[in-house]
Amino acid sequence: MLARPAVAALACRQCQSAVLRAIVSRPASSGFRSLPLRQSRQLPILTQRFFSQERTIEPAEKEDTEIEITSEEDLLNESPLEPAKSAEPRGVPWFLEVDPPRHPPSQHEVELPKIPDDAPAVVTPMLKYIFEDMGLDEISLLDLRDLDPPAALGPNLIMLFGTTRSERHLHISSGRLVRWLKRNYKIDARADGLIGPGELRTKLRRLRKKAKLMGTNTAIVPGGDNGISTGWVCVNFSSNGGNSNEVESFDDTGRFSGFGASPTGTTIVIQCMTEARRNELSLESLWQGILKRSLQKGRRVRGEKAIDDAELDALVAAKVQIPASLADTVVSPSRPLANPSDLQWQAMKQASKQHRYYSTTARRLSPSLENTSSRSPQPSSNAEGEGSPAGAGPDLEQMRKLVSDIQLAGIPFNQDMLQNVIRDIFRSPSAMESAATERLALVDQLLLTAEERGMSIWNNDMFVTLIESAVTSPSYGTELQQAQKNIEYLMNQKACNFDHDQILRLMTAYASRQDWTRFWDAFRTPSRFKRAREHGLYTFAYRTMADTKNQKMCIEALRWVYPEMVSQKPPVLAIGSLYNALKACIWVADPQAENLLHNPPDMFHSILDERRLHNREFLKLLREVEATRDQLSNLGSATMNQFNQ
C-alpha cells in the first residue's frame, strides 16, 4: 500500500528504473520483508511501459496502482538457473521498432545475354562477375562455334563484349578478371593489351625522362599514342586447360592431310573496351558478317537448300546477342558514311560478293563506279583558294559520294587534289542542320585514307588549307571553331615556319571572320623565326586596316607596324603598292593629314598651335613617307618599278 506521493513519484522514468534495479539485484539474505502480497500484474505493467510502447498506464489507473514486490521466500524457492520473470523484457524495445527501409524498384533493368547451350560451366558465373563485380556495361555475347574454318583465336569460339567507363577502369577490371579466373577456377587466362601498375609506372617514368631531355613540360600529346593507353584489352582462355597444340590431320581415306589445332574444348574471349574504342572498331558488326558468310558457305558445302536473307538474318541474330542500347549503332549499308567503322562495313559487304572472300574488292571498281573510273578529283578552279559561288560547285552529298569512291574504289589522287577536295568539302553548299559534323567526318576519313596511301598530311601547307577552309566555311560555328583550335594547337606544337604565301592565306582567312587577334598573330610569324617580312605582308596589313574604316584600329596598326617596317634590315620603303596602302591607312587614322600637308594655314593664333601642327602624329608620318618617296623617285624608274613589283 503506497501513498499517493509514492505512486506519483513512480511516474518518473528515473524513479521506475531505480525501483526495478533494487528489486532485481537485492540479495535474498538481506532480511528484506516485502509488503503484503496481492494478486496483481503491476510489475509486468511497469516492465512493459519501460521497454515497450504496447501498453501505457492511464492517469485513472495511477492512483490505485501498487507495486508487487516478490517476498524473500519466493526468491529462495526460485531456481538460480532461471532468471526472474519480472526482470525479463517482453517484446521488442521501442527504439528498435523501426521498419527497414524499402527501396523503390529500379526503373532500369539490365537484361544480360542468355548463355548458349552446351557452354562451359564457367561462363555463367563469369558473366555474373563481369556485370556485378567488374562493372562492365552493354554486354553482348556472340556464339561463333559454327564458324568453319574456326577463327584464329581458337576453336568453338564464344566471345563477350563489354564497355568500361575509363582507361583506368579498363585495366583494373581486366586484371581482376584474370586473377579471379586463376583463384576460383585454376584457369590461366591471357590478357592482351593489359598494362599493369608496374608497367604503367615504368612508361610514365620514361615519358618524364623524354620530356626532360626535350626541354618540354610534357611528352604526352592529347589524343596521341603515348604507350600508356590502349582502350582495348582482350582476355582469352580455353576450357580444355590450354591443350590446343597442333596435331596431325588425316582425311577419310587415312592419308595424311596436314596439321591443325585440336578442335576440342571451347575458346572464350572477353573483349573489354572503352566506349570510344568500341564505337570505332565495331567488332560486333565484323564478326556478324563473318558468321553470316560462314553459315552461307556451310549450307552450300553440305548441299542444303539456300535460304533467303531474312531467314539468314534471323539465324545469325539467334547467335549474336546485342543489347538494345547498341542495336541502333550497328551499321548498315543504307546509312551514310559517318565514321571509319561504316567504311569497314561497306568494304566487308563488297568483299563478301567474291568467291574467295578476300578483302581486295574494297580496292577494286564496283560496277556502279565503272563510269567514274576514268575521272579523278580535279583541282579547284579558284587558285586563290576562295570558295566558289553557291550552286557553282558540288554539294555536300556529291562530296560524300566522292570520298566513298576514293576509299572503296581506289580512285587515285595526289597532294594538290587532296587539298582541293578538302576545300570543296568545307565550302560545298548543304541544307543539313548538322553539316559541320558531316564535313569534319568526311575530312577525317579523307585524311586517314591519304595517310594509308603514304601521303604527307601534317605539313605546313595542309595546316593552312585546313584553317583556311574551316574559317571560310558556310557552316562555321561552334564545332568548326573547336576544330580550328585543335589545328592551331598542333601548329604551335610543331612550330610551323610558314612562308610568305601561307601567311597571306592565313591573314586573309582570319580577316574574313574579323578575328584580328589571330590576324596579327599570323603577321608576327616571321619575327618568331628571325626572318624579315616581305613587301606584300605590310601592303596587305595596311590595306586590310584601311578597308575596315576603323580609326582606332588604323592608329594602333600604324604605331607599331610602321616602326618595325623602317627598322627592319634591310628596311622596307613605302614605294609602289605599299605607299598607296600606307597612305590609305593614314587617311583613316587622320582624315585632315593630307590637306594640312599640302595646304598648311598661313597664320597661327599662337606659337603653341604652330608646334602642335608641326608635331601632329600622322601628319608627321605622312610628311616622312612623302619625303622618302621623293628621294627614291630621283633614283630612276628602274628602282621604282622594282618596288612596285
- pLDDT tens digits along 147-182: 888 888 888 899 999 999 998 899 999 999 999 999
Query: What are the start-end ranges of the H helices in 495-636?
Result: 500-512, 516-523, 525-528, 535-548, 551-567, 577-589, 593-598, 607-614, 617-633
Sign of CA dihedral 278, 280, 281, 284: positive
Q: What is the structure's pLDDT at 259?
A: 60
451-468 mean pLDDT: 87
C-alpha cell recorded at residue 13:
522514468
- Asked whether 268 and 161 are in contact (CB, 8 A), the reply is no
Predicted confidence (pLDDT) per residue in 188-230, tens digit? 999 999 998 888 888 888 888 887 887 766 655 555 566 778 8
Q: What is the structure's pLDDT at 247?
A: 60
Mapped onto helix, strand or coil, the DSSP state of residue 187 is coil
Cβ contacts of residue 201 below 8 Å, gap of 6+? none
- List, edge to edge, every strand of the sheet that includes 232-238: 190-192, 232-238, 267-274, 157-164, 137-144, 320-321
Run of H or E including 143: strand 137-144
399-423 mean pLDDT: 84
N-to-C CA span, the chain: 130
How many angstroms separate the CA atoms of 506 and 494, rounded? 17
How many angstroms separate the CA atoms of 328 and 326, rounded? 5
The phi, psi pair for 260, rounded to 5°, reads -170, 165
Q: Residue 232 pairs with which residues in a beta bridge?
A: 273
Cβ contacts of residue 501 below 8 Å, gap of 6+? none
- Asked whether 414 and 457 are in contact (CB, 8 A), the reply is no
Angle CA(317)–CA(323)–CA(329) in degrees, nearest 5? 85
Predicted confidence (pLDDT) per residue in 46-103, tens digit? 444 444 444 444 444 444 444 444 444 444 444 444 444 444 456 778 777 777 777 6
How many angstroms separate the CA atoms of 91 and 88, rounded? 10
Is beta strand 246-250 parallel, antiparallel or unpaired with respect to 137-144? Answer: unpaired
How many angstroms separate the CA atoms of 587 and 173, rounded? 71
Q: Residue 140 pairs with which residues in a beta bridge?
A: 161
Q: What is the structure's pLDDT at 381?
A: 42
Say how far residue 44 (Cα) sits from the centre of its chain: 70
Sign of CA dihedral 144, 147, 153, 154: positive
C-alpha cell recorded at residue 57:
498506464
Sign of CA dihedral 586, 592, 594, 597: negative
Predicted confidence (pLDDT) per residue in 290-349, tens digit? 999 998 888 888 888 878 888 888 888 889 999 877 765 554 433 444 444 444 444 444
Q: Which residue has the higher pLDDT, 185 or 307?
A: 185
The phi, psi pair for 98, rounded to 5°, reads -125, 130
Say how far residue 413 (Cα) sits from the centre of its chain: 32
525-538 mean pLDDT: 89
Predicted confidence (pLDDT) per residue in 580-635, tens digit? 899 899 999 988 888 888 887 776 677 777 777 777 888 888 888 888 887 877 76
The phi, psi pair for 163, rounded to 5°, reads -110, 130
Residues constituting the chain: 645
Q: Which residue has the higher pLDDT, 354 or 537?
A: 537
